[in-house]
Amino acid sequence: MANSQQTAPFDYVIFGATGDLTMRKLLPALYNQLRVGHVPEEARIIGTARSSLSREEYINRAREALERFLPAQHQDNALIERFLKKVHYVTLDGTKTDHNWDELKAVLAQSPEDRIRVYYFSTAPQLFEAISENLNKHGFITAHSRVVLEKPIGTDSASARAINEGVSRFFSEGQIFRIDHYLGKETVQDIIALRFANPMINAVWSNEYIQSIQITAAETVGVEGRAAYYDTSGALRDMIQNHLLQVLSLCAMEAPADLSADSVRDAKVNVLKALRPIPEEKVASETVRAQYVKGALNGVDVPGYLEELGDTSNTETYAAMRAYIDTPRWKDVPFYIRTAKRSTQKVSEVVVTFKKSATALFGATPAANRLVIRLQPDEGFGLALNIKNPSSANFSLQNGSLSGKFAPADGSLIPDSYERLMLDAVRDYPVLFIRRDEVEAAWAWVEPTLNAWAANKAPMATYAAGSHGPDAARQFIASTGDEWHEDMAD
């Protein structure tokens, strides 16, 4: 019997199907959704890329990817073979009008006319318009088609606008699903749940009680095989413009009227538009950028960024920014945003530091309350409170914490963000995708910083691989009376 969350039959056509994202994330996501009964038997996955491969060769690559990237407890050989029967491959250069489109047409023609088609562009963004144009020319865009655009949407405001314009010549805004995989993380949606489902949190969610909010995404990985892309991007474009500004908008938005795509996205875009601009002359004091140099991670020596790259570079692998949101709710509350490659450990989290009690309690000074929302790994939350120190004869205080997990109650793993988002596109459910104005507002805010950095108007600090980041970042946050949350066990 069909699972009640099963989608209608679909054909997923992936451009960039031999790439890392498809192998590491997209195919495992669709497999997992088949495993839990959300993918109907008729569904098909049609990979396309320029590499000349037979269907069998592609299926072999897909099988290897599933065996490599699926968690062991989700691997089931019979199910993998059932999944692979849905997989097709067409050698195709989507940017060339007179390429192998007939073969794609023949594969698509095996499905009824009204079959839902999702075109997933997992390619460089400069190709999005040309692929859309060719899909249109060959009559592949039907009323039941949608397109998923992988990030990055451009490298600055102008290129983002050009990409958005280009794709919208062929797809309506309602058919365009701009993915930001952070929005598909179940724990990122916990920000909404914690804020709005808990009056005791909602009541203190403003500058009256909150001292500062830190949003961090740190990783232990360096740039590895992605140096060619990463060196043209850097930490600000790769993580802050999209993922971390999305997390910031969820933390700061006013309550949406409902969970419709427009209500939620209106609420988020209002935050992005209220971000106080950082003019170029303030970039040196309001941001920090840095590159890792050689160091050690878990006792293993790792090379510096320039050594990995084998070249000189002005690209940052660490970025921190201080943001203010010019609304009554957030007046004077600093939001610190930071991201790093080759940090001490992988962690994404939101840390809300509340204002300290203005008065001592019977001579004891209370510490600031703090709410930590751990997005990954070890997904959960912790609330630091002051409790009495039982081993002191005098009245003194110590830290007591309340904590909880975001994990599913049945012990199963939290689904990967792509699982949910890929099927949301099939279901025509755009709430967790980014609207055009959000992308453009986010670029508009980061652009002066990008420009100032490109013109070397702010110094490039260094930090040892395997450390928390540069000293400059500690001085930067201390200048507004805060300190980074660095002890992840705390």
**Would you name the residues annotated as active-site residues?**
243
Phi and psi at residue 382, to the nearest 5°: -140, 140
Q: Nearest-CB residue to ligand BG6?
A: 238
Nearer to ligand BG6, 206 or 233 (CB): 233
Minimal distance in Å, beta carbon 339 to ligand BG6? 9
Nearer to ligand BG6, 238 or 447 (CB): 238
Regarding 20 and contact with ligand BG6 (CB under 6 A), the answer is no
Regarding 440 and contact with ligand BG6 (CB under 6 A), the answer is no
Minimal distance in Å, beta carbon 246 to ligand BG6? 11
Cβ atoms 372, 349 nearer than 8 A: yes
Radius of gyration of the chain (CA): 24
Minimal distance in Å, beta carbon 361 to ligand BG6? 40
Nearer to ligand BG6, 48 or 348 (CB): 348
128/408 Cα distance (integer angstroms): 37
Size of the site for ligand BG6 (CB under 6 A): 5
Regarding 217 and contact with ligand BG6 (CB under 6 A), the answer is yes
For residue 32, CA distances in Å to 35, 103, 149, 418, 446 come to: 5, 28, 21, 10, 36
Minimal distance in Å, beta carbon 416 to ligand BG6? 9
Regarding 339 and contact with ligand BG6 (CB under 6 A), the answer is no
Minimal distance in Å, beta carbon 90 to ligand BG6? 27
Nearer to ligand BG6, 345 or 475 (CB): 345
What is the separation of C-alpha 248 from the centre of its chain, rounded to a whole number of angstroms? 12
Nearer to ligand BG6, 182 or 476 (CB): 182
Cβ atoms 290, 306 nearer than 8 A: no
87-91 and 44-49 strand pairing: parallel
Task: Name the region of 277 (left: φ>0; alpha: ψ -120 to 50; beta: rest).
Answer: beta
Residues 238-257 that bind ligand BG6 (CB under 6 A): 238
327/265 Cα distance (integer angstroms): 17
Residues 341-370 that bind ligand BG6 (CB under 6 A): 348
Regarding 11 and contact with ligand BG6 (CB under 6 A), the answer is no
Closest CA to 137 of 107, 165, 96: 96
Minimal distance in Å, beta carbon 233 to ligand BG6? 8
Nearer to ligand BG6, 115 or 468 (CB): 468
Residues 100-129 that bind ligand BG6 (CB under 6 A): none
Going edge to edge, which strands form the sheet with 287-293?
397-405, 380-388, 370-376, 347-354, 210-218, 335-340, 318-323, 287-293, 460-464
Q: How far apart are the first and last CA of the chain?
A: 47
Cβ atoms 209, 355 nearer than 8 A: yes
Regarding 416 and contact with ligand BG6 (CB under 6 A), the answer is no
Q: Among all chains, which residue has been given the structure tokens 């995708």?
A: 433
Minimal distance in Å, beta carbon 346 to ligand BG6? 7
Nearer to ligand BG6, 84 or 347 (CB): 347
Q: Which amino acid is at 37?
A: G
Cβ atoms 443, 156 nearer than 8 A: yes
Task: By CB under 6 A, name the one of 103, 133, 219, 440 that touches ligand BG6.
Answer: 219
116-121 and 10-15 strand pairing: parallel
Closest CA to 469 of 315, 338, 311, 286: 338
318-323 and 44-49 strand pairing: unpaired
Binding positions for ligand BG6, rule: CB under 6 A: 181, 217, 219, 238, 348
